[in-house]
Structure formats: C-alpha cells, structure tokens
C-alpha cells in the first residue's frame, strides 16, 4: 500500500520541472497524474476476477513486479506521450494492490477489531504521502525529475520480496467469468469522460468536434454499461451491493473524499514554483506537511476508533473545508508558513476520514461481498480524484484568461494611476521590455485569481458532504454469546428451602 501511495503522490512535486523538460502546458502535464489515476480506477474492479482466477499470491507478485518495471521505464521516458503511456501501465498494474490489501486485512480480523486493524493499516498507507514529496523534491532538485521514479524501484523490489515471503495463497474463490461487455463499456466511458475534461479548455469545449465526440461516446458507453448491469445474469459490478443503504451513502462520501484527496497536491506545486519561484526541495517539504498531518490523524484515530465514526467524518470533512478556505485566502505573496499550515490541516482531515469511511461503508455489508465492495470503493475514490483535478486545472486556466482580460483593461497610458509617480513606482510603458514586464505581471495576477477560485471550489466540495453524514445509520456490534451455566442444586438444610420448579425456571 505504501508502494501504491508513493506512485500516486510522488510525481506531483516534479510537475513544473516535467512541464519544462517535456515542453508541455499546464493542462498537458496534468495528464501524468490524471491518466494514472484513471487507469487505476478502470482496472480496480477486475481485482475480484483476477483473485478468483489466479489467487491472491500470484496477483500480488505479478502486479508488484510489472508495476516496478513500468516505474523504471517512466524514469527513462523522453516525451510526454511515452511518460503518459508508462504511467497508464503503472496504474493498471497498481490497481489491484489497494483493494486486495484491504480485503485481506478485513478478512483476517473479526468485525470488532476492524477499527484497530484498519488504523494500523492506514499508518502504513500514509508513509507514501509523507516520504514521497520530501525525498522526491530533493532528488528532483539535485538531479532531475527522473529520479522521483527511480527511487520507487528499490521500494518495489522490497515489496516483491515481502509478498513472496509472507503472503499466503489463501482460499481461492469459485471460478468466475469476467463480464467483458460491462468492463469495456465502463472503461471506454471513463476514459472518454476524463479525456474530455483534460482537453476541453484547450479545445474550447463544445466548439470542438473532438470534445463533442468524446461526450457522445462517453454517454453511449455509460448507457450500455447501466442497461447491461441490470439485465445481465452476472454483470461486471453486482447491483445488489447498492441495496445496502450504508454502502450507497459510504460510496457517495468516498466519491467526495476522492474529489478532495489529491487536488491540492496537484495545484500547489505549479502555484509555488511558477508564481513564487520556490525550488523543488521546498515544495516537497510543504507537500510532505500534508503527510505529517495525515499521520497525526491516523494516530489519533488509533485511540479514538471506539467513538462513533460519524463524529470523525464530520470533523474530517470540516477540516478539509477549513483548509480549502485557508488556501483561498492566499495572495501572490503567500509564504511557506501559510502553505504548511493549510497542508497540515488538510492532511489531518484526510487522516480522520479514511478509517471511518471504511467502517461506515462495510458496516452492514455481508463479508462475502467485501472484495466486490472494496473494488467499487477504490474505483469511485480514484474517479473522484481524477475528475476533480481536471476540473480544477480547467477552472484555473479559464479564470486566468478571463481575469487577464479584466486586469489588462486597467493597464493603459490613459489610466490616472499611471500619472501618479508614487503609485506607479517603477512601472512604466516607455519601452517594449517594460510593456512585456507589465504583461507578465498581469498574467501572473490573473493566474493567481484562477488558483483562488479553484480553492473556493474545493471548499464547497468539502462542505457538500456534511449533510450526507447525518443519513448514516450504524449497526451496533453484537455481543459475544455467553452460555448460561446450569443451576446448581443446593442441598436442603435446616434454614434452606428446597429449590422448587418455579425457582428453577
């Protein structure tokens, strides 16, 4: 799980450097993150079929091995297309790691110990977001962005040896047939929808034939998937899962959690390096602060998991909203202290959410449905992450263009502000170099407003989850049955009456 989390988070710290090295724009370099998440989301529901057909040991060993090789080739990539391709392979191979690991943990402990086991499991998960940005930022600054991928190879090798030594084969489920119609329809729908979000702003949305075709194809494939799911004998996703009230609410909250999870980690590196000029090592430390907050949240949950999980859900989403509001108050002179505090609070909210989401989602679900439920759990989380990142990046770029036009209206030699020396300062329009400098500053301020709008959108998304938590109903844990001891017959004495049948009853 730490290996999986490393891959999701480590590329973010080097996105600005990749953008320059590969001659990509901000929306193009975001494909390195979003396509990896989409590939993970598409392949995640296949975990149950792969485990039933090949066994959990073979699946883990194969996935970790190919995952490590794909990571190595990411470091050797010489073009954006090549890097995105191997990131997709990386996502496909890493998809079974999270749900299979979680299913093994839940199946290994009784329900009364799920909270403690998930908390310890979550502490391992948080190592990735804590270590990856810090070390990755240092390696990226000292060497190049390629080393953020090379550093994962030793971790992948250690994970492979660990799986080979300790993971048992386990009881293989009944041989099941993969519903290829549902799988292909869902995969194409998700891929087209994500491609539309990533390329929409660049191609002027509905004015582009490509975007219209992607929307139509995504809608058609999703319609085929839904109809096939409710009419096939053995569909790709079991619709009976959605008859469970808590599971549906848990999936909705998981989707919102996914929407919030990686968006700041994708937006902040571009803001800090392009607008403030921070080096990769400092950006890595600031992103690592989020991992520190998440670790603190898991530690608190380790001792507080006996309380109602709805309390932690409310606290987690509220902290996410507070963090988004703090980031929305950033200005062009934002300091490292401001970013660090917002990152810690956002990470603390993430730490409060992971364990309660798992408990709420699987609280009333039969144990035999855990593997399928875990697959959908991670599917929606990953889809939410990729969708929100794409929307946020598009919002930043669109707002930047609009605000550049509004701000440029005030940059005119006829504006009264330019006629006041104390106000104009060193700014003047006497040469082309000065005009270019003014244009760059206007563009910089417009882009900052775009980031602020994206953080406001993040805040509203976090607060939208709070009313849903009130609808969750928790099932009380059943006490252990204790057999009644047989009544002991006391001998009749001078002061004792013999036990009659009524007293025995």
Same domain, 229 and 321: no
- Rounded CA-CA distance 297/119 in Å is 10
Residue 489: the pLDDT is 47
What digits encode the pLDDT tens for the residues 255-310? Answer: 999 889 889 988 998 899 888 888 888 888 888 888 888 888 888 887 777 788 88
What digits encode the pLDDT tens for the residues 46-81? Answer: 887 888 888 888 898 999 999 999 999 999 999 999
What digits encode the pLDDT tens for the residues 105-160? Answer: 777 788 778 777 877 777 667 777 777 788 888 888 888 889 989 988 998 999 89
Hunting for tokens 């975007």 — which residue is that?
211
465 close to 253: Cβ distance less than 8 angstroms: yes
Using CA atoms, how far residue 316 sits from 171, 351, 454, 467, in Å, is 37, 8, 20, 13
The per-residue pLDDT of the chain, averaged, comes to 83
| Residue 296 included in any domain | yes
Same domain, 340 and 350: yes
What digits encode the pLDDT tens for the residues 436-460? Answer: 888 888 899 999 999 999 999 999 9
- At CA 471, angle to CA 465 and CA 477, rounded to 5? 115
173 burial via Cβ count (<10 Å: 0-12, 13-18, 19+): middle
Would you state the structure tokens that stand for residue 301, as one six-digit string? Answer: 């949950």
37 close to 70: Cβ distance less than 8 angstroms: no
| Residue 417 included in any domain | no
Domain residues for the domain of 316 are: 2-178+236-404+442-469
| Residue 102 included in any domain | yes
According to DSSP, residue 416 is labeled G
CB within 8 A of 204, min separation 6: which ones?
A: none
| Residue 341 included in any domain | yes
- Rounded CA-CA distance 353/288 in Å is 18
Same domain, 320 and 264: yes
Same domain, 163 and 275: yes
| Residue 28 included in any domain | yes
- At CA 30, angle to CA 452 and CA 185, rounded to 5? 115
8-22, 386-400, 480-494: which has the minimum mean pLDDT? 480-494
Same domain, 165 and 185: no
Same domain, 297 and 194: no
For residue 61, the surrounding DSSP H or E stretch is helix 56-75
Using DSSP, state whether 208 is helix, strand or coil: coil
Same domain, 223 and 330: no
Other C-beta atoms lying within 10 Å of the C-beta of residue 223: 12
**Rg of the chain on CA atoms, in Å:** 27
What digits encode the pLDDT tens for the residues 372-412? Answer: 787 788 788 888 888 898 899 999 999 999 999 888 887 87
What digits encode the pLDDT tens for the residues 182-217? Answer: 889 988 998 899 889 888 888 888 888 999 999 999
For residue 401, the surrounding DSSP H or E stretch is helix 370-408
Give the residue with greater pLDDT, 415 vs 465. Answer: 465
Phi, psi of 496, rounded to the nearest 5 degrees: -120, 135
Same domain, 217 and 258: no
- Rounded CA-CA distance 21/449 in Å is 26
What digits encode the pLDDT tens for the residues 344-370? Answer: 999 999 889 878 888 888 888 887 777
CB within 8 A of 467, min separation 6: which ones?
A: none
Last residue of a domain, which of 207, 235, 263?
235
Same domain, 323 and 364: yes
Does residue 495 carry a pLDDT above 80? no
CB within 8 A of 203, min separation 6: which ones?
A: 210, 211
- Rounded CA-CA distance 72/23 in Å is 21
- Rounded CA-CA distance 379/395 in Å is 24
Closest to 87 (Cα-Cα) out of 29, 143, 163, 20: 29
| Residue 164 included in any domain | yes
Same domain, 272 and 222: no
| Residue 187 included in any domain | yes
Residue 449: the pLDDT is 94
| Overall domain count for the chain | 2
CATH number at residue 85: 1.20.1250.20
| Residue 430 included in any domain | no
- Rounded CA-CA distance 487/501 in Å is 12
What digits encode the pLDDT tens for the residues 79-103? Answer: 999 999 999 999 899 888 877 887 7
Using CA atoms, how far residue 484 sits from 163, 481, 488, in Å, is 45, 9, 12
């Amino acid at each position: 799980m730490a290996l999986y989390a490393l891959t999701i988070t480590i590329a973010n710290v080097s996105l600005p450097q990749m953008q320059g090295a590969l001659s990509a724009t901000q929306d193009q370099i975001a494909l390195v993150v979003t396509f990896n998440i989409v590939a993970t989301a598409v392949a995640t529901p296949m975990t149950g079929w792969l485990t039933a057909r090949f066994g959990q040991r073979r699946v883990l060993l194969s996935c970790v091995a190919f995952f490590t090789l794909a990571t190595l080739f990411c470091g050797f990539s010489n073009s954006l297309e090549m890097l995105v391709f191997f990131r997709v392979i990386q996502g496909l191979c890493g998809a079974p790691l999270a749900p299979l690991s979680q299913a093994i943990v839940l199946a290994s402990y009784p329900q009364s110990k799920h909270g403690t086991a998930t908390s310890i499991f979550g502490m391992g998960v948080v190592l990735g977001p804590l270590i990856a940005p810090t070390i990755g930022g240092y390696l990226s600054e000292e060497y190049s962005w390629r080393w953020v991928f090379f550093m994962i190879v030793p971790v992948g090798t250690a994970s492979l040896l660990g799986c080979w030594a300790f993971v048992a084969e386990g009881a293989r489920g009944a041989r099941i047939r993969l519903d290829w119609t549902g799988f292909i329809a869902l995969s194409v729908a998700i891929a087209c929808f994500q491609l539309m979000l990533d390329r929409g702003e660049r191609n002027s949305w509905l004015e582009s034939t490509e975007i219209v075709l992607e929307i139509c194809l995504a809608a058609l494939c999703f319609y085929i998937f839904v109809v096939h799911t409710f009419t096939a004998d053995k569909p790709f996703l079991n619709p009976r899962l959605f008859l469970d009230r808590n599971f549906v609410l848990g999936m909705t909250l998981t989707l919102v959690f996914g929407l919030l999870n990686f968006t700041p980690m994708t937006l902040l590196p571009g803001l800090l390096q392009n607008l403030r000029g921070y080096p990769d090592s400092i950006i890595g430390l600031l992103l690592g602060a989020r991992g520190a907050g998440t670790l603190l949240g898991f530690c608190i949950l380790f001792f507080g998991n006996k309380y109602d999980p709805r309390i932690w859900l409310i606290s987690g989403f509220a902290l996410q909203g507070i963090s988004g509001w703090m980031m929305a108050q950033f200005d062009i002179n934002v300091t490292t202290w401001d970013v660090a505090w917002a990152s810690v609070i956002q990470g603390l909210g993430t730490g409060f959410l992971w364990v309660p989401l798992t408990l709420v989602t699987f609280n009333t679900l039969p144990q035999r449905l855990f593997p399928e439920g875990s697959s959908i759990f991670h599917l929606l989380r990953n889809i939410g992450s990729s969708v929100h990142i794409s929307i946020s990046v598009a919002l930043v770029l669109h707002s930047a263009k609009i605000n550049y036009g509004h701000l440029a209206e005030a940059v005119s030699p006829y504006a009264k502000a330019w006629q006041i020396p104390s106000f104009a300062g060193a700014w003047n329009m006497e040469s082309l170099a000065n005009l270019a400098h003014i244009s760059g500053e206007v563009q910089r301020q417009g882009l900052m407003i775009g980031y602020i709008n994206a953080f406001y959108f993040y805040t509203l998304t976090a607060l939208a989850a709070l009313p849903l938590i009130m609808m969750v109903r928790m099932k009380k844990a059943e006490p252990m049955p204790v057999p009644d001891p047989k009544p002991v017959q006391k001998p009749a004495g001078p002061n004792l009456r013999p036990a009659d049948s009524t007293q025995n009853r």
